[in-house]
Structure formats: structure tokens, C-alpha cells
DNA sequence: CGCTGTCTTGAGAGTCCTCAACCGTGGTGG
DNA sequence: CCACCACGGTTGAGGACTCTCAAGACAGCG
């Protein structure tokens, strides 16, 4: 934990927000970058006024932990920019990253009174914040919104089961290959993949150590499956082989 | 796969059902064993007629795989008795059990058109089956039902995150200890725990091999944390120590 | 230019897996 | 009736994959 975890910036505290964001946007749901992909797509343009009044837009600097495991679950979030790390900790510091949330992803499906996980910005992140009460009212008034949230939760549940298969039964190579396939899907299925997280993050995501992640990347490079494509990007040279490796039909 | 996977018995085929169940109950939601704990509790007694007409009651013998991974998701299930194994497979046969569903648990939250997992009865299981279409109609007509389903999904998501922490970061001892604590909670928090699953199932649930599970049980017995309490039951002799071990504050 | 943080690579160790043998139980059929 | 087999569980020996510890390269930044 190197950084002193800079505080959260919101539209509610304009001066502080300026320090980070340069300027302080009022929420503009109609022209939101994530309008079409997020849960908000379940609400018609005509009803967006209700949404705008329920939301606070925030900008969060890298390293900032804006959800703390065990804290009271007062708010829910929608990511509109950047990447968020969701994680759980053991008392001795071991960490498991349970997911990376990107633009359009909803954070905070807890049900319980307290969060069951922590959340930290991996890079510069923009969020929409809903208070628990306002969200409940939105659910009451917009059944489609609730339906969409249920669909979201179901999809996440499926993803979680895939992650369990990975963590419980896949080898290091298979894990890294799966991770790269996942990233590819998120980066538009091009061969070039952005990795906005550190090796430590990847390791904690895949249940491996930094060193094993690094060694596995090196091995894949040596085998001609992977190439560097920038300081924080890699290029997949053989998608089919990588896919087969991810599925466990190892070579 | 030793058994020829006996076919599913439903109230729709009474004679076959008799072969397993002895008799063939029509669904009686009002007096259901799981009335209070399942998602059905979100529907008032007065509206139970709608529920009864949407449900088929089934009895499934041990070893029967009644949901196949990748198959079209036509039905949803509610467990009323017994234990169901939910799992995912790799092509070479490696298996990860993603959860054990017991009485009151809902199976099938997929969202997608196809199941993302398989389901198999661990012992003699009773189920209520909803067709996808009927369930959708129930959701439309009973908002409380949908709300309850969302809560269920959220709770499962939290559980899934805990399982990721276990699979990614816990040692074999910690995994087994966590498993026992989970089982204890499910068996009413008494010191005696029922284990209706085999060592292979436990291993596939915890991301370990049969042998490691067996060895770990033996070690815990030798250390005085555990004792046999029947052919398929164990007794926890020191709940606090087991809990500490499960949390990762290992000894 | 030194500092810090990230990444890489190597050597050795450790946990868990693989392979194998053995035990006890329950069902089956000669 | 009992030998026989299938199955689940236990235990041992050896091996493998990944982790731990350590050192060094590199980039960003004060």
C-alpha cells in the first residue's frame, strides 16, 4: 500500500473534484459513454430525469479504495470509465481479486447490509454513485431496471463459476491464457490487448504469484503465442492456440 | 460415471415416479418443506394457486444429472429436499463443483439461453421445476418474487467471491476448515455435521484431490479438532480453532 | 542522479499431486 | 453361505508445479 489513498472526488465537492478531474461534470445520462451498455439502458430517454436526480458522478484516482470490505453498504456504483479491482483479503494480507469492473459494469450487488468485498481504482476511474435508498426507489418505479439488474447478476454468477473452474482446476498456463482471452473480449476482440493492471493484480486475480505470472508470459512469448505491443499492451499471435490452451486442451 | 444415470421422475409420469418415490405428490406449495426458506416465500398464501399451476414436482435419484452444461436453459429448479451438486467440467474430465444446493436453494439463474453449468443429485433429491416462460410470467406478476430472486442472486454472488478467495488463496487445511464451517452453518450450527457427498465431491469443490482431502481430515482428527460421528458425519471438537483456521489465521 | 516501483530471471524449497497398495463395506451370484 | 467384485476411503512414496527468496534490469520521477 504505497499511496496514501487519495480521497474520493464527487460532484458534491466541486473544488476538490477540480483538483483531480480538471472540471466537474454534472451527470448527463443521455450522453453518457456507458448509456447503451450499462444497467441504465433499461430506462427510457424520457425517464432519464429521474435517473439524473438519483445519481452523483465521481472521479476516483488510481489506488483509491472507494469500497471497503465489511463497511456498511450505503452506495452502489456504475463504472463509466477506467478499470476497478474488486477483491477480498485474508487477515495476513493474502488477496484475491474477484473481478475487474470496466465501463458499463455495476458494482455493489450485495443484498446484505454490508459490502462483502473491497473495490479499488486500477487507473483513473469515473463512476456514477446511487444511494441504496434511491436505488431501491428506482427499482420500485422501473421494473425493467430491476429485470436488467437480475440479468446482470445472473451473468456475473456464470462468470463467477468460470472463475471457480479456473482457480480450482486450471494450470498456471491455462489461467493466463484464459485471462488473455477474457481481456481480448473486453478490448473488442482485436489481437492487441490492454493490460491496465500490474502483474501483482493479475496474480491476485488468477491465484498465482507475480513471478509465476511473469514466467508464464515469458514462456508464451518464447513459444510465439504472444508479443509485446507497447508498455502495457500485448499482442496475441495465435488466437486459436491460445483459446485451446485456455479451454484446458493444453499443448 | 458408473451408474447409467437413471432418468428423471416427475409428477407427469406417475408410474415411473412411483418406482422412486413410492407415491406421487401433487405440488402442495402451502405445506411445502421449503415454503419459508425458498424464493416462494415471496408469494402470499392467497396467490399460491398461481404458483402451484406453474410448478412440476420432481424426484431425482442420486447420480442423476438433470441439468447438462451447455444445454438449452428451458427450466429452473427449486430444491426442496436432498443435496444437488453444481459443477463445471474441462474437456479432459477435470471437474470443479461450484456449489452444493440444498433445500430452499434456487437453481438456474442463468440469464443466458443455455445453462452454464451441470447439476447432479448427490443423494435423493426433490425439486420443483419451473419452465422458463412460466417463471418469466411469475416475475411479471409478482414483483416481490423478482425482488427476492435478485436478493438470492446477490447473496450467491457474495458466496462466489468467498469461494474465489478460498480457491485462489487458501491452503488445503484452510479450505477444509472453511468447508466444515460452511457445512456446520447449513446443518443448524450443531457440532455434528452431515457430509452427504463423497471425498471426490469435496475435493472437486475445494480444488483439491481426494487424497489431500482425506489426509487433511486425518490430520485434523489427529490434532483433536475433529472426530467421527457416524459413517457420513463428523463432529467438530473445537469450533473456535476451526473458525480461526478457516479465516486463514493458521496454526 | 538516486530513488522507488515494476518486471524479469534464477535457485531452492514446499505443498500438493500422482501413482500405488491396502482396508472395509455392501451388493451379487455361484 | 460365502467368495467375489465394485466402490469409497486411507495411507505411503516419489515427483511436479508453483511458491519463496533473492538479485538484477529498467522506467518514471523527484
Q: How does DSSP assign A80-111, residue by residue?
A: EES-EEEEEE-TTS-EEEEEEE-TT-EE----
Query: What pLDDT sits at residue B25?
Result: 56
Between 3.30.365.10, 1.10.260.40, 2.60.120.10, 1.20.140.10, what CATH number should domain A9-163 receive? 2.60.120.10
Nearest chain A Cα to B152, which residue?
A111
Query: CA nearest B80: which of B135, B20, B121, B137?
Result: B121
Domain A170-247 belongs to what architecture?
Orthogonal Bundle (1.10)
Q: Kindly determine whether residue B111 and residue A168, on different chains, have CB atoms separated by under 8 Å.
A: no
| Cβ separation B164–A165 shorter than 8 A | no
Q: Chain B closest CA to A6's CA: distance in Å?
A: 26
Task: Identify the pLDDT of residue A24.
Answer: 44
pTM: 0.90
Write out the E strands in A33-162: 55-60, 65-67, 75-81, 84-89, 95-101, 106-107, 118-121, 125-131
Better-predicted residue by pLDDT, A220 or A232: A220
Residues of chain A with C-beta less than 8 angstroms from the C-beta of B149: 150
Measured distance CA(A8)–CA(B203) in Å, rounded: 43
User: Under an 8 A CB cutoff, do B169 and A95 touch?
Assistant: yes
CA trace torsion A40, A43, A47, A53 (10° rounding):
-30
pLDDT at B251: 62
- Residue A9 has, within 13 A of its CA and on its CB side, a CA count of 22
d(CA A211, CA A134): 45
Chain B nearest C-alpha distance from A92 (Å): 7
Q: Which nucleotides of C are covered by protein (CB under 7 A)?
A: 4-11, 15-20, 26
Distance CA A5, CA A66 (A): 9
Q: What is the pLDDT of residue A13?
A: 37
Contact A117 B161 (CB under 8 A): yes
Q: Where in chain A is the domain with CATH 1.10.10.10?
A: 170-247
Q: Where in chain B is the domain with CATH 2.60.120.10?
A: 9-160
pLDDT of residue B31: 87
Q: Which residues of A touch B (CB under 8 A)?
A: 86, 88, 90-92, 94-96, 98, 109-112, 116-117, 139, 143, 146-147, 149-151, 153-158, 160-165, 167-170, 204, 206-207, 247-249
CB distance B56 to B10 below 8 Å? yes
Question: Is pLDDT above 60 for A143?
Answer: yes
pLDDT tens digit sequence for A75-127: 999 999 999 999 999 999 999 999 999 999 999 886 778 999 999 999 899 99
User: Rounded CA gap, B51 and B10, in Å?
Assistant: 17
d(CA A168, CA B179): 14
Surface-to-core class of residue B31, CB atoms within 10 Å of its CB (0-12 exposed, 13-18 middle, 19+ buried): exposed
Q: How many CB atoms lie within 10 A of CB B15?
A: 8
Instruction: Test A150 with B151 for CB contact under 8 angstroms.
Output: no
Contact criterion met (CB < 8 Å) for A90 and B158: no
Is the C-beta atom of B116 closer than 7 angstroms to strand C? no
Give the chain A residue nearest B244 (alpha carbons).
A91
Name the more confident of B10 and A40: A40
Residue B6 has pLDDT above 70, yes or no: no
Residue B177: predicted pLDDT? 98
d(CA B39, CA A5): 41
Q: To the nearest whole angstrom, how far is the Cα of A58 from the nearest Cα of chain B?
A: 24
Separation of alpha carbons B123 and B196, rounded Å: 7
How far A53 CA sits from the closest chain B CA (Å)? 23
pLDDT tens figures, B124-178: 999 999 898 888 888 899 999 999 999 999 999 999 999 999 999 999 999 999 9
CA of A200 vs C1' of D27, distance in Å? 18
Query: For chain B, what is the mean pLDDT?
Result: 87
Nearest CB to B91: which of A154, A168, A247?
A: A247
Fill in the DSSP letter of residue B36: T
Confidence band for B99, pLDDT divided at 50, 70 and 90 = very high
Interface of B with A (CB under 8 A): 86, 88, 90-92, 94-96, 98, 109-112, 116-117, 139, 143, 146-147, 149-151, 153-158, 160-165, 167-170, 204, 206-207, 247-249
How many angstroms separate the CA atoms of A213 and A203, rounded?
6
In this prediction, what percent of chain A has a pLDDT beyond 90?
Answer: 61
Tell me yes or no: is domain B9-160 CATH 2.60.120.10. yes
Cross-chain Cβ contact B207/A167 below 8 Å = yes
Contact A90 B248 (CB under 8 A): yes
**pLDDT of res. A187:** 86
Residue range B170-246 forms a domain whose CATH class is mainly alpha
* CB nearest to B88's CB, from A112, A157, A165: A165
SS3 B126: strand
By residue count, chain B amounts to 251
As a whole-number percent, the residues of chain A with pLDDT over 70 amount to 88
Residues 6+ apart with CB under 8 A from A124: A59, A60, A61, A62, A81, A82
* Amino acid A25: pLDDT: 56
**B160 → chain A, closest CA residue:** A160
Lowest-confidence range among A189-198, A213-222, B24-33, B183-192? B24-33
Q: In this complex, do A169 and B90 lie within 8 Å of one another by their Cβ atoms?
A: yes
Instruction: Summarize pLDDT for B213-245 with one digit per residue, the tens.
Output: 999 999 999 999 999 988 789 999 999 999 999
Distance, CA of B177 to CA of B9 (rounded, Å): 36
Residue A8 has pLDDT above 90, yes or no: no
- Determine the pLDDT at residue B23: 36
At residue B193, the pLDDT reads: 94
Distance of CA B72 to the CA centre of its chain: 21
Cα of A240 to nearest chain B Cα, Å: 16
Report in angstroms the alpha-carbon separations of A134 from A36, A54, A141, A152, A205: 21, 6, 11, 19, 32
- Rounded Cα distance between A53 and B112, Å, is 32
Which stretch of DSSP H or E encloses residue B76? strand B75-81
Most confident of A59-68, A71-80, A162-171, B46-55: A162-171
Closest residue, chain A, to B90 (C-alpha): A248
pLDDT at B22: 34
Considering only CB atoms, which chain A residues are within 8 Å of B136?
A: none
Ranges of CATH 2.60.120.10 domains, chain A:
9-163
- pLDDT for residue B250: 67
Nearest residue on chain A to B98, alpha-carbon basis: A161
Q: Point out the residue among B86, B94, B117 whose CB comes nearest to the CB of A248.
A: B94
**Residues 6+ positions from A174 with CB-CB distance below 8 Å:** A166, A245, A246, A248, A250
Amino acid at each position: 500500500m504505497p499511496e496514501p489513498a487519495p480521497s474520493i472526488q464527487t460532484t458534491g465537492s466541486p473544488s476538490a473534484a477540480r483538483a483531480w478531474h480538471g472540471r466537474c461534470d454534472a451527470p448527463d445520462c443521455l450522453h453518457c459513454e456507458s448509456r447503451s451498455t450499462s444497467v441504465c439502458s433499461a430506462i427510457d430517454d424520457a425517464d432519464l430525469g429521474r435517473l439524473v436526480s438519483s445519481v452523483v458522478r465521481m472521479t476516483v484516482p488510481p489506488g483509491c479504495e472507494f469500497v471497503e470490505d465489511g463497511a456498511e453498504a450505503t452506495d452502489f456504483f456504475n463504472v463509466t470509465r477506467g478499470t476497478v479491482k474488486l477483491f477480498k483479503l485474508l487477515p495476513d494480507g493474502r488477496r484475491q481479486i474477484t473481478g475487474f469492473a470496466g465501463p458499463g459494469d455495476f458494482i455493489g450487488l450485495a443484498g446484505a447490509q454490508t459490502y462483502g468485498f473491497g473495490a479499488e481504482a486500477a487507473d483513473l476511474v469515473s463512476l456514477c454513485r446511487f444511494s441504496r435508498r434511491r436505488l431501491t426507489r428506482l427499482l420500485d418505479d422501473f421494473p425493467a431496471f430491476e429485470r436488467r439488474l437480475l440479468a446482470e447478476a445472473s451473468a456475473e454468477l456464470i462468470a463467477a463459476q468460470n472463475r471457480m473452474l479456473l482457480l480450482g482446476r486450471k494450470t498456471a498456463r491455462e489461467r493466463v491464457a484464459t485471462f488473455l482471452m477474457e481481456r481480448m473480449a473486453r478490448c473488442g476482440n482485436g489481437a492487441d490487448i490492454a493490460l491496465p493492471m500490474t502483474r501483482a493484480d493479475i496474480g491476485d486475480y488468477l491465484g498465482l504469484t507475480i513471478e509465476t505470472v511473469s514466467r508464464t508470459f515469458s514462456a508464451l512469448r518464447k513459444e510465439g503465442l504472444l508479443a509485446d505491443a507497447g508498455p502495457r499492451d500485448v499482442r496475441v499471435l495465435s488466437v486459436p492456440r491460445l483459446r485451446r490452451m485456455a479451454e484446458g486442451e493444453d499443448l
